[in-house]
Structure 1
Amino acid sequence: MKKIILFSVLFITTLSSFAQTTIVQQPLQRKIEVSGFSEMEIVPDELYFSISLREYFNDEKNQKDKVIISTLEKQLIKAVAEAGLPKEALSISSVGGYQNYVDKKKKPASFLENKQYELKVDRADKLDGILSKVESRGIQYANIARVDHSKKEEFKKQVKINALKAAKDKAAYLLEAVDQKLGPVLEIREVEDNVNYPQPMYAKANMRMMAASESADSVQDSDLQYQKIKISYRMQAIFEIK
């Protein structure tokens, strides 16, 4: 019995000594954590216009000589083709109609159809040239629905790279201020991203395009103004201190 107890004590003592000799304390890793920010503004090269055409009567008082929607649509399609745009640039977004009232006290005399289209162009000044070839009384409105850029993903990639480089530069000059050197990167995190699509600012372009008194020859270049697309990213990085 004494031999068994003695063996157990020796075995426990041996394990304890072995554990003490194998535990090695790791040195504290010195590191610096910083963030970098980058921003880029780009001029949109994809402008999406919402255009609405509606039927009307040349003789509005007597409800005669109606200009139907298919006539207006053919004019628009032809104008888009003459502007050098592909067929895919123009698409129908919705179809509707409205009651045409001759007198507010009377019942509606007729039902007139309207159609909404989406037109994609690369420059705003192309719109006036296209709509000038469509009967102005048939144009209900023409507004910019949205803007974009064909190389947006490439720009986003570059902004991220610039933000990461900004983080590295910041870490380097901060360490230099305390006589330390920058080591390899340990961790990279994307902490913030923002792509801002601004609303366009309208001047008098729409009113001019829809004015029935204007002829096609009198239409001038569009004075539609729009802001740039703003892309920004913030990157977080951890570097080792040598």
Structure 2
Amino acid sequence: MKKLAKLLMLVVPFGLGAFASTAQQVIVEKPQPKKIEVTGSAEQEVLPDEIYVSVTLREYFKDKDNKNKVDIMTLEKQLQKGVEEAGIVKENFTVGNINGYREWFGKKKPTIFLESKNYVIKVSNLYKIDGIIAKVDDKGVASTNIERFEYSKIEQLRKEIKIKALQAAKDKAKYLLEGIGEQLGDALEIYEIDNGYSPTPMYSNMMMKSARVESADAMPESTIDVQKIKVRYEMKTVFRIK
């Protein structure tokens, strides 16, 4: 009898342990909530307010026999005067690069050295650029072009557009559910679709000192501005259905 009792004492704990182990392996799956997934979008166009214009000046000779050279400092002073008269602060008028080259004549060694200098002018619009360039001797202007343009409040604009895209997604989900007699619940997941923006300088009839004029005052100011920057974002959102 005592042996039987000891055997039962050993078997019962083992059985309880096996039962507990089996109970732990039972996973009760909760029913998945009803949900709807939608994508909302928003976009906005703004004019760039930071335009970087590159101007390259180059020394030249007034006479055909390479005499009476107009040096780079003379040209620079002319450009600087135009910048000051346009009301542009010194911080927005900088030197970008300096180059120089020698001219060869047949088999002779180079005897003539001409310097060129690149400047970057930061403006809020393009209206004054033509007038600035017109202050410089026409032959001294080698090239002008727009390097890049930006919008100073782009980060704030991005935030606003993302919020609008999220609100558009919510509105879409709401009217879709109302169409089938359902109600919109809480947001379960939110995904940002990064479209970003890649603005390209676009301008038409921009008079960038392409022809010689008799006087600086004869150079009209351009009234054509760059193309607007378009910023667009999409937000994918998952909502619970009540």
The TM-score with structure 1 as length reference comes to 0.87
Aligned to 1:47: 51
Match status 1:237 vs 2:240: no
CA shift in 2, pair 1:214/1:143, >3 Å: farther
Q: Contact 1:139–1:210 at 8 Å: present in 2 too?
A: no
C-alpha RMSD over aligned residues: 2.5
Aligned to 1:228: 228
Q: Percent identity?
A: 43
Match status 1:217 vs 2:217: yes
CA shift in 2, pair 1:104/1:213, >3 Å: farther
- How far does residue 31 in structure 1 lie from its aligned partner after superposition? 1.4
Aligned to 1:90: 93
* Separation (CA, whole Å) in 1 of partners of 2:241 and 2:150: 42
Alignment of 1:89-238 (within 5 A): 89-100=92-103, 109-203=111-205, 205-206=207-208, 209-222=209-222, 224=224, 226-238=226-238
* Separation (CA, whole Å) in 2 of partners of 1:194 and 1:14: 58
Worse-matched range after superposition: 3-12 or 28-37? 3-12
Unaligned runs of 5+ residues in structure 1 are none
* Separation (CA, whole Å) in 2 of partners of 1:16 and 1:96: 82
Deviation string 1:90-140 (CA, Å, 9 cap, x unpaired) is: 111110023346x67876551100001111111111101111211121111
CA shift in 2, pair 1:52/1:19, >3 Å: closer
Q: Contact 1:144–1:200 at 8 Å: present in 2 too?
A: no
Aligned to 1:28: 32
CA shift in 2, pair 1:75/1:31, >3 Å: same
Aligned to 2:16: 11
Q: Helix, strand or coil: the match of 2:195?
A: strand
**Selected match of 1:67 from 57, 67, 70:** 70
* Separation (CA, whole Å) in 2 of partners of 1:169 and 1:81: 52
The number of residue pairs the alignment matches comes to 237
Q: What residue identity is the alignment partner of 1:128?
A: D
Q: Helix, strand or coil: the match of 2:194?
A: strand
Deviation string 1:46-89 (CA, Å, 9 cap, x unpaired) is: 11111000111111x12111111011112212221121111011
- How far does residue 9 in structure 1 lie from its aligned partner after superposition? 4.7
* Separation (CA, whole Å) in 2 of partners of 1:185 and 1:212: 64
* Separation (CA, whole Å) in 1 of partners of 2:120 and 2:112: 27
* Separation (CA, whole Å) in 2 of partners of 1:167 and 1:194: 18
Unaligned runs of 5+ residues in structure 2 are 1-5
- How far does residue 224 in structure 1 lie from its aligned partner after superposition? 4.8
Deviation string 1:167-210 (CA, Å, 9 cap, x unpaired) is: 1111111111111111111121112222121232353612xx24
